[in-house]
Amino acid sequence: MRPLNRKEQSMYDLIAWDCLDEQTIVFKNPNEGRPTTPYTFDRVFAPACSTQKVYDEGAKDVALSALSGINATIFAYGQTSSGKTFTMRGITENAIRDIYDYIKNTSDRDFVFRISALEIYKETVIDLLNRESGPLRLLDDPEKGTIVEKLNEEVAKDCQHLRHSIGICKAHRQVGETTLNDKSSRSHQIIRLTVESFLRESPDHVKSYIASL
């Protein structure tokens, strides 16, 4: 649950749900006489929870599992203005920090990161790292599944470079207004990070491959 934003506070809105515990929320029924139904989740984060806590307890393990070769996805789903963009930004920043801390502490391996980012807006797929490329086509590949033709994939040279690329995606996203959110994303965004890692003592052809990136 997110706290009320400035606009909602200025309109004296009220939070409609109570967190009973870390798994349960219940609708605050204005008609006290009628019982309300509790809804149970794996984990509920109350409005005062920091994004750091949401990341630590809800996303960190998934983000770091990618470093051990497991495909991992973190996604936010919900109605307009529920806090998806806000939360995903915090999660992405925390994940980048932890990934680069992991690299620093893994001295026997070299890592290569590639980033790609797309936006789906009104049925059109756009490359967020190269908006000028125009709408991209989706193709069905019998082995790889759905692929996005000509989607740019950049090698992230270091942490700053990765943050810079994510900043470009943020700047390139469509923003509009909905009745509930002045800065609604009005679109879906997918950021993909691909990780390759090699033992430092790799054969020469692997070292020259890394150097060529």
Ligand X SMILES: Nc1ncnc2c1ncn2[C@@H]1O[C@H](COP(=O)(O)OP(=O)(O)OP(=O)(O)O)[C@@H](O)[C@H]1O
Of 53 and 150, CB closest to ligand X: 53
Least separation in angstroms between CB 79 and ligand X = 7
In what helix (H) or strand (E) does residue 206 lie, and over which residues does it extend? helix 204-212
155, 171, 167: which is closest to 213 by C-alpha?
A: 155
Q: Is 90 exposed, middle or buried (0-12, 13-18, 19+ CB in 10 A)?
A: middle
CA 180 from chain centre, in angstroms, equals 22
Least separation in angstroms between CB 42 and ligand X = 18
Stretch that binds ligand X, among 19-27, 61-69, 181-189, 201-209 (CB under 6 A): 181-189
DSSP-assigned letter for residue 23? S
Stretch that binds ligand X, among 60-68, 76-84, 113-121, 135-143 (CB under 6 A): 76-84
Interface with ligand X in residues 80-99 (CB under 6 A): 80-86
The answer to whether residue 174 forms part of the interface with ligand X (CB under 6 A) is no
Q: Strand, helix or coil at 124?
A: strand
| Binding residue for ligand X, selected from 23, 52, 160, 178, defined by CB under 6 A | 178
The answer to whether residue 173 forms part of the interface with ligand X (CB under 6 A) is no
Size of the site for ligand X (CB under 6 A): 16
Total Cβ atoms within 10 A of residue 27: 12
- Across 21-169, the runs of DSSP E, i.e. the strands, are 24-27, 38-40, 109-121, 124-127, 135-136, 138-141, 145-148, 154-156
Of 2 and 156, CB closest to ligand X: 2
Least separation in angstroms between CB 126 and ligand X = 16
Least separation in angstroms between CB 209 and ligand X = 39
Instruction: Point out which residues bind ligand X (CB under 6 A).
Output: 2-3, 5, 78, 80-86, 178, 181, 183-185
